[in-house]
Chain A
Amino acid sequence: MKLEIEIRDRLRTIDLEPAESPGHYRAILDGEPVEVEANLLRPGVLSIVVAGRSYRAVRENDASVGNGSETAVLLAGRRFPYRVEDSRSLKARRAHSGGHDGPKVIKASMPGRVVRVLAGRGEEVEAHQGVVVIEAMKMQNELKSPKAGVVIEVRVLPGDTVSVGDVLAVVE
């Protein structure tokens, strides 16, 4: 099957077919054929041998990887964030993000507890002005408006617990 993977902000095309012997794959990476032998040691942990070189690859997260969400492969002490797209949704997303200027959401960049809402519904905000303050592990983090506009919705109250990616507010 053919996959397009955006890894470290580069788009790679990988065509992966199982070979005759178990655990072996024929992979075509950006048009170059690669012989891969892979062994899933346990969910999320792969032993991979490519051309005699041995690697341990660990998938960072169990969370589902769909459009907009991201996970990472941990390999050789490095973190490689990636995103999987089928070609259609990728094109659609690119078309969507280009020049479109509708409402923008402010999402939680870390899990934590809401300590303050700095700009309520109906308030005008500048670009990069703080809207919501979240606290975790004794550190406070101000979530800022991505653009100048009006706060049309605030979805959290002080004291609420939020997870990464939760929508906190919408600015139009």
Chain B
Amino acid sequence: MTSFRKILIANRGEIALRIERACRELGIATVAVYSEVDRAALHVLEADEAFLLGPAPAVESYLRGELIIDIAQRAGADAIHPGYGFLSENAGFADACENAGIKFIGPTAAAMRALGSKTRARQAADAAGMPRTPGSTQALASLAEAYAVADAIRYPVMLKAAAGGGGKGMRAVNHREDLKAAFEAAQSEALRAFGSDEVYLEKLIERPRHIEIQVLADENGKCIYLGERECSVQRRHQKVIEEAPSPVVGPDLRRRMGEAAVRLAQSQGYTNAGTVEFLVDDEQNFYFLEMNTRLQVEHPVTELVTGLDLVHLQIRIAQGEPLPVSQPDIELRGHAIECRVYAEDPDNGFFPSPGRITRLLQPGGPGIREDGGIYEGWVVPMDYDPMLSKLIAYAPTREQAIARLLRALDEYVIGGIRTNLGLFRRILNDEGFRAGDIDTGYLDRLLAQPLPYTTDDNLDAGNEDVAAIAAAIFETLRNGKTAPAQTTASPWKSVARKEGLRG
């Protein structure tokens, strides 16, 4: 068993900051790496040491594994935490860390390889006796084979890239006559996105829920599950809202899914934190989807309902410590919901909206956690994922967590760039969401509807009047045409002057 003195965080944004905070709490020094456009980022500011990687594009900065290992060696780091994305699921990088004598905080390269490809993971699922969607467990060799598999499992079917992720290389096929075009499109998209044109076929589950199980495994063979996360609110296969527990998972289903996830992890000698994703149909049958061999974006909802700090535990596991908790210790308490706050414009086709954050008022108070990487004045670069922060509410019940999240959303102001904060207000007020009646197609259906009339609209008319007056006051101050205050000591006058000068 070793004790880390210094950890390099091979990531940026909110997750780099999240990991730095955990290191601080554990008394471990931190090394940040950054690209040229991230010099002023929070993860650089909050680290003990910081090293430049290169220009903005990820291939010239955050994906430069060799350089990152070199920096870790020069800085004397004992371990590298990869966060999520970038190098986190790159088995070659995990190998290179090991060869350099630096601990990779995550599973072994062998476990990553066994579970990283979706076809190999489906074979592992069969070996572990886990239910999965019917279909192939190997790459389709030809169109003829695709027809044969699809005919056997019956339409509708889903074509997927073996190396896939983020919805790329995926095609739903409803009829036999559409298979040829979809097969070719999925192959070429997979080749472009992942450098491999391997695709496979599986039965399309109608209106599935996306529910995943968090597992933790130490290096002595002990593995536990920390309950589920419901991640069915998605747009273009990207999660938008996640919660724990799921509104439809009871103790029995949770135990069956959890035990299946643990079986899969143990069959591959999996270590550290991982997530086993499932689709769940409306009859509560669950099907293995894939395993993510890293910390997930949405890990905070699990932390809140279990009371465990997953990043602390990742580090302790990587140090060789045994898991400090056992399965019977894991009790879920309360309900947590997370919103992924993105720099994008829901009123304008979800276009990305990078740029300078000119105003930032952050929410607080009971049960609110914000994992962010932004500050007022920060320029959100155009080169990376548009996620700004994660806003998480925790309360005794789901209903109270929704109310708390809505309250926090009203407190939250991000100005200068457009964000999807308004989208969450709409979802959290929607009856379907409030009833827990969600599946992976839920959000697309909601967005296809015209904005409903709500009782808020009456209130909105009054708000519009006040907004008009506020706009007039802002403009008056900017132009400096009217000095609003009459006394000489008034702060109004000096601010008005400043505002006038700034114009």
Point out residues on A near B: beta carbons under 8 Å. Answer: 1, 3, 5, 7-8, 10, 12, 14, 16-18, 20-23, 25, 27, 29, 34, 36, 38, 40, 43-46, 48, 50, 53, 55-62, 64-65, 73-80, 82, 84, 109-113, 136-139, 141, 161, 164
Q: A5-B468, A64-B503, A137-B386 are in contact. List 19 more A-B contacts (CB 8 A).
A: A3-B475, A3-B476, A5-B472, A17-B482, A18-B482, A18-B486, A22-B486, A40-B495, A43-B499, A46-B474, A58-B413, A58-B415, A60-B415, A77-B410, A77-B425, A80-B463, A80-B464, A139-B350, A141-B351
Separation in Å of the A158 CB from the closest CB of chain B? 15
A14 touches B469 (CB 8 A): yes
| B416: chain A residues within 8 A (beta carbon) | 60-62
A34 touches B361 (CB 8 A): no
Q: Which of A8, A16, A20, A113 has its CB near the most chain B CB atoms (within 10 A)? A: A16
Given A77-B410, A78-B463, decide whether A112 and B474 contact each other with a Cβ distance below 8 A: no
Q: Which residue of A lies closest to B387 (CB)?
A: A137
Q: How far is the CA of A18 from the CA of B499 in the complex (A)?
A: 17
Q: Check if B74 is an interface residue, CB within 8 A of chain A.
A: no
Q: Check if B372 is an interface residue, CB within 8 A of chain A.
A: no
A45 touches B477 (CB 8 A): no
Q: How far is the CA of A82 from the CA of B343 in the complex (A)?
A: 21
The 8 Å CB contact of A82, one of B359, B386, B471, B476, is B471
Separation in Å of the A55 CB from the closest CB of chain B? 5
| A21: chain B residues within 8 A (beta carbon) | 486
Q: How far is the CA of A1 from the CA of B483 in the complex (A)?
A: 11
B352 touches A139 (CB 8 A): yes
A57 touches B470 (CB 8 A): yes
B485 touches A109 (CB 8 A): no
> Can you name 19 A-B pairs with beta carbons within 8 Å?
A1-B476, A10-B464, A16-B472, A27-B472, A44-B474, A46-B470, A59-B470, A60-B416, A73-B470, A74-B413, A75-B467, A76-B410, A76-B463, A80-B471, A84-B471, A111-B353, A137-B382, A138-B352, A139-B351
Separation in Å of the A120 CB from the closest CB of chain B? 24
| B358: chain A residues within 8 A (beta carbon) | 44, 60-62
The 8 Å CB contact of B359, one of A60, A77, A78, is A60
B472 touches A136 (CB 8 A): no
Given A22-B484, A44-B415, A59-B474, decide whether A27 and B469 contact each other with a Cβ distance below 8 A: yes
B471 touches A111 (CB 8 A): no
Q: How far is the CA of A55 from the CA of B473 in the complex (A)?
A: 14
Q: How far is the CA of A144 from the CA of B495 in the complex (A)?
A: 43
Q: Check if B142 is an interface residue, CB within 8 A of chain A.
A: no
B468 touches A137 (CB 8 A): no
Q: Interface digits, B110-145 against A, CB 8 Å rule (1 contact, 0 not)?
A: 000000000000000000000000000000000000
Given A60-B416, A75-B463, decide whether A23 and B470 contact each other with a Cβ distance below 8 A: no
A111 touches B355 (CB 8 A): yes
The 8 Å CB contact of A14, one of B382, B468, B487, is B468
Chain B interface size, as a band, is 35 or more
A77 touches B486 (CB 8 A): no
Separation in Å of the B179 CB from the closest CB of chain A? 28
| B502: chain A residues within 8 A (beta carbon) | 43, 62
Given A22-B490, A38-B473, A43-B498, decide whether A7 and B353 contact each other with a Cβ distance below 8 A: no
The 8 Å CB contact of B469, one of A34, A65, A109, is A34
The 8 Å CB contact of A7, one of B355, B464, B477, B486, is B464
B474 touches A22 (CB 8 A): no
Q: Which residue of B lies closest to A7 (CB)?
A: B468
The 8 Å CB contact of A73, one of B383, B422, B474, B478, is B474
Q: Check if B460 is an interface residue, CB within 8 A of chain A.
A: yes
Q: Which residue of B lies closest to A16 (CB)?
A: B472
Q: How far is the CA of A23 from the CA of B471 in the complex (A)?
A: 15
A5 touches B413 (CB 8 A): no
B422 touches A137 (CB 8 A): no
B352 touches A137 (CB 8 A): yes
Q: Check if B39 is an interface residue, CB within 8 A of chain A.
A: no
Q: Which residue of A lies closest to B498 (CB)?
A: A43
What are the nearest 6 A-B pairs in CB distance? Answer: A57-B470, A137-B352, A80-B467, A22-B485, A136-B382, A14-B472
Q: How far is the CA of A3 from the CA of B474 in the complex (A)?
A: 11
Separation in Å of the A53 CB from the closest CB of chain B? 8
Separation in Å of the B451 CB from the closest CB of chain A? 12
Q: How far is the CA of A138 from the CA of B384 in the complex (A)?
A: 7
| B45: chain A residues within 8 A (beta carbon) | none
The 8 Å CB contact of A137, one of B343, B359, B472, B487, is B343
Q: Interface digits, B334-371 against A, CB 8 Å rule (1 contact, 0 not)?
A: 00000000011100111111110011010000000000
Q: How far is the CA of A77 from the CA of B429 in the complex (A)?
A: 13
Q: How far is the CA of A161 from the CA of B502 in the complex (A)?
A: 26
Separation in Å of the A161 CB from the closest CB of chain B? 8
Q: How far is the CA of A74 from the CA of B467 in the complex (A)?
A: 8
Q: How far is the CA of A61 from the CA of B351 in the complex (A)?
A: 18
A23 touches B492 (CB 8 A): yes
Q: Which residue of A lies closest to B473 (CB)?
A: A38
| B385: chain A residues within 8 A (beta carbon) | 137-138
Q: Check if B434 is an interface residue, CB within 8 A of chain A.
A: no
Q: How far is the CA of A55 from the CA of B468 in the complex (A)?
A: 13
Q: Which residue of A lies closest to B356 (CB)?
A: A62
Q: Check if B24 is an interface residue, CB within 8 A of chain A.
A: no
Identify which of residues 156-206 in chain B touch chain A, using a CB-to-CB cut-off of 8 Å: none
Q: Interface digits, B489-503 against A, CB 8 Å rule (1 contact, 0 not)?
A: 011100100110011
The 8 Å CB contact of B486, one of A5, A20, A59, A65, is A20
Q: Check if B237 is an interface residue, CB within 8 A of chain A.
A: no
Separation in Å of the B21 CB from the closest CB of chain A? 25
Separation in Å of the B158 CB from the closest CB of chain A? 23
Q: How far is the CA of A29 from the CA of B386 in the complex (A)?
A: 39
Identify which of residues 424-480 in chain B touch chain A, using a CB-to-CB cut-off of 8 Å: 425, 459-460, 463-478
A22 touches B487 (CB 8 A): yes
